Copies of this chain bind each other. A is one copy, B any other.
Amino acid sequence: MTEAIDVDLAGRRLRVGLDVGGTKIDAVAVTPEGDVVARLRRPTGWGAEAVVDTIASTVTALAGEAGIDAAAVSSVGIGIPGLVDVTTGRVLHAVNLGVESLDLADRVADRLRVPVHVENDVKAAALGAAAMREIDGSMAFLNLGTGVAAGIVVDGVIWRGSRGTAGEVGHLSVDPNGRLCSCGQRGCIETLCGGGALARAWAVPGALPVLDILDAAERGDVGARALRADLFNGAAAAVRALVLSADVERVIIGGGLTALGDRLLSGIRTALQAGAEASSFMRSLHLDDRIELLPAGSPAAAFGAALVGAATPLKEIVTHG
């Protein structure tokens, strides 16, 4: 891309990225230089038609917010839960959205008349986190939300593996006597540090059960202390699995549980240090130094979706950014 075209694009062509979650869509508009110039959060619709509608109207509203014509949007990228066929833009089994099967890319492209690419939400977030943190080598984005999964990015490219399950460490069992997982196995990492599993195990109604668990643990509640230990040990196990299998250089922790802030990061770090205490091999890996927390509210997931939409190599953005 020549400098002249860059300047021309900057004023009037924006990449839009949307992170479509179970309750809200987080949307950003990104310049060709990688600057986020507008951001908007809107509720997600339920079911295929409403998902398409809310995505399309969010793009239009975001363009308005950025003070540009919707026609100036050059590409739309969508990160969405479920099984995504990135070639066709088809989404399957996005159960949190009430979507069983949806030709999402085609449907949104028909509405907006721009190129649309779709990616699994965790993989898109991994790409966005790698770009925003300017990580050149290998990294994993460990998403601690209702469920647990990671996305791996190597040299600025999403690393899918052979069948798209790279980074699915949430369903590695680390305890044969552990809690039953929604996947049918016992003792999966997700049963230890997934927000959904922790809320079910805590079984006390509340808006933010995992926060309640941490608060109760600090007050000395025995059950809460056990669940807090599960949270930190489970996340530490996920970090170990990512490093001892794929050997990513860094693990960036994101997802809804990052609302816990430094309590989460320091808890996971302490669990990793306790593991290293017992083992010189683990000590040599310096895992506690290799993790970081994505700030709560970071637009990384939507930013990554914008990169997916433009099919722009990460390195290009990082160089410009």
Measured CB to CB, the residues of A under 8 A from B are 137-138, 160-169, 171-177, 181, 183-186, 233, 237, 240-249, 275, 278-282, 285
Question: Quick one: which of B186, B246, B281 contacts A246, CB cutoff 8 A?
Answer: B246
Question: Quick one: which of B171, B281, B285 contacts A244, CB cutoff 8 A?
Answer: B171
Q: Which residue from chain B places its CB closest to the CB of A238 in the assembled complex?
A: B245
Q: Judging by beta carbons under 8 Å apart, are B163 and A247 in contact?
A: yes
State A243–B168 Cα separation when bound (angstroms): 9
State A55–B246 Cα separation when bound (angstroms): 32
A290 to chain B, nearest CB (A): 9
Q: Judging by beta carbons under 8 Å apart, are B241 and A245 in contact?
A: yes
Q: Judging by beta carbons under 8 Å apart, are B183 and A279 in contact?
A: yes
Most buried by B among A244, A246, A281: A244
Q: Judging by beta carbons under 8 Å apart, are B282 and A171 in contact?
A: yes
Chain B residues with CB below 8 A from A175, complex form = 174-176
The A interface, classified by DSSP as helix, strand, loop or mixed, is loop
Chain B residues with CB below 8 A from A240, complex form = 172-173
Chain B residues with CB below 8 A from A164, complex form = 247
Q: Judging by beta carbons under 8 Å apart, are A174 and B173 in contact?
A: yes
19 contacts between A and B (CB under 8 A): A137-B162, A161-B247, A162-B247, A162-B248, A165-B244, A166-B246, A166-B247, A168-B247, A172-B174, A172-B240, A172-B241, A172-B245, A174-B175, A175-B175, A183-B280, A185-B282, A241-B241, A241-B245, A246-B246
Q: Judging by beta carbons under 8 Å apart, are A244 and B172 in contact?
A: yes
Q: Which residue from chain B places its CB closest to the CB of A137 in the assembled complex?
A: B162
Q: Judging by beta carbons under 8 Å apart, are A177 and B177 in contact?
A: yes
Given contacts A244-B168, A246-B161, whether A185 and B285 have CB atoms under 8 Å apart is no
State A281–B182 Cα separation when bound (angstroms): 10
Q: Which residue from chain B places its CB closest to the CB of A279 in the assembled complex?
A: B184
Q: Which residue from chain B places its CB closest to the CB of A249 in the assembled complex?
A: B162
Query: Would you list the 6 A-B pairs with minimal beta carbon distance, nearest first?
Result: A161-B247, A245-B245, A184-B279, A162-B249, A166-B247, A184-B278
State A233–B247 Cα separation when bound (angstroms): 23
Chain B residues with CB below 8 A from A162, complex form = 137-138, 247-249
State A206–B191 Cα separation when bound (angstroms): 41
State A165–B163 Cα separation when bound (angstroms): 22
Given contacts A162-B138, A172-B240, A241-B172, whether A282 and B183 have CB atoms under 8 Å apart is yes
Chain B residues with CB below 8 A from A282, complex form = 171, 183-185
A14 to chain B, nearest CB (A): 34
Q: Which residue from chain B places its CB closest to the CB of A83 in the assembled complex?
A: B284
Q: Judging by beta carbons under 8 Å apart, are B245 and A183 in contact?
A: no
Given contacts A161-B138, A162-B138, A174-B173, whether A281 and B183 have CB atoms under 8 Å apart is yes
State A279–B181 Cα separation when bound (angstroms): 9
State A233–B248 Cα separation when bound (angstroms): 26
Chain B residues with CB below 8 A from A281, complex form = 171, 183-184
Q: Judging by beta carbons under 8 Å apart, are B185 and A278 in contact?
A: yes
Q: Which residue from chain B places its CB closest to the CB of A163 in the assembled complex?
A: B247
